[in-house]
Amino acid sequence: MYKTIVVCLKDTRSAAALTAMALGLAERQRAHLVGLHVAPDVFVGVPAEVSLDYIEQAQKQIEADATANETTFRDLAAASGIDAEWRLELAQGPGYEAAVTRHVRCADLVITGQPDGFAWRGGDLLTEILLDSGRPILFLPYAGTFPRLGERVLVAWNGGREAARAAFDAVPLLREARNVRILMIDPPRGPSSGLAPADDLAVALARHGVPVEAARTTSGGLAVGDALLNDISDHGADLLVMGCYGHSRFRELLFGGVTRHILEHMTVPVLMSR
């Protein structure tokens, strides 16, 4: 079971939905929930010619966002009765990355919102940090409502390291599911060195008490990301579990096409590991 869950609150518009999901999951897992907001240093990356008035307004907005997120988290947590705590850190200088990492590396699971800015090459800083933290990340889409998470789960499987990490990181959720579908798209023909078959994963997960089935399909010329989204729709999945692929830094080169596509177009919550 997950015993420590951290929910990262950044955008005030999504704070209530993220907190509600995190509280529900913490209740099911009997976990301690940490609400986290790391506020950036207003002076980092600001051009020298920016006016003092601009800086003052930016600082006020940073403080207002932190206060709003704290109020949302505390109010919802108090109403739920869940064991919860609030953490606010004001990053000093370029210390935003170190601050976020320090809080999330000792969590069993991290929850955050769907990243913004994937249309441009820079990616999303919070997402970049979290996916470099070594912890499984549960992303909540910015559109839609998700009252119950993980009744019908799709596990994207290619037999590789990242996919294996994600599948076993998700076991506490998979054990609660009514159905877990392991899907291998365009499976390799013949023996493939180092790639574990979907059937082997199904047997291993079944030993954990997971109600699991293995499936195979072909993309038929469709992009793999779209094939996954179609399967989610066709089988009514409410959670996607997948490995995160690509280079270690978003700003150097965005993650592989499937990962990026899912992060841009997710229709259900997505648990990723790498």
The string of DSSP codes covering the chain is ---EEEEE---GGGHHHHHHHHHHHHHHHT-EEEEEEEEPPTTTT--TTS-HHHHHHHHHHHHHHHHHHHHHHHHHHHHHT--EEEEEEE--TT-HHHHHHHHHTT-SEEEEEPPS-TTSTT--HHHHHHTTTTS-EEEEPSSS--SS-SSEEEEE--SSHHHHHHHHHTHHHHTT-SEEEEEEESPPSS--TTPPPHHHHHHHHHTTT--EEEEEE--TTS-HHHHHHHHHHHHT-SEEEEE--S-S-TTTSPPPHHHHHHHHH-SS-EEEE-
Confidence of residue 110 (pLDDT cuts 50, 70, 90): very high
Confidence of residue 109 (pLDDT cuts 50, 70, 90): very high
Residue 122 burial class via C-beta count within 10 angstroms: exposed 0-12, middle 13-18, buried 19 and up: exposed
Task: State both tokens at 273.
Answer: 């590991």
pLDDT > 70? residue 253: no
Confidence of residue 189 (pLDDT cuts 50, 70, 90): confident
User: What pLDDT score was predicted for residue 116?
Assistant: 75
The residue whose two tokens read 């006020």 is 60
Least confident of 68-72, 146-150, 243-247: 243-247
Q: Which residues contact 53 (CB under 8 A, 6 or more apart)?
A: none
Q: In sequence order, what are the beta bridge partners of 273?
A: 243
pLDDT > 60? residue 250: no
pLDDT > 60? residue 251: no
pTM: 0.90
Tens digit of each residue's pLDDT (9 = 90 or more) over 202-246: 999 999 999 999 999 888 888 889 999 999 999 999 999 999 875
Least confident of 27-36, 46-55, 150-159, 255-264: 46-55
Give the sign of the dihedral formed by CA 251, CA 252, CA 255, CA 256.
positive
Confidence of residue 192 (pLDDT cuts 50, 70, 90): low
HSE-up of 50 (CA within 13 Å, CB side)?
13
Contact 2/83 with Cβ under 8 angstroms?
A: no
**Mean pLDDT of the 1-9 span:** 97
Q: What does the alpha-carbon distance between residue 73 and residue 34 come to, in Å, rounded to a whole number? A: 10
User: What pLDDT score was predicted for residue 255?
Assistant: 44
User: What pLDDT score was predicted for residue 87?
Assistant: 97
pLDDT > 60? residue 249: no
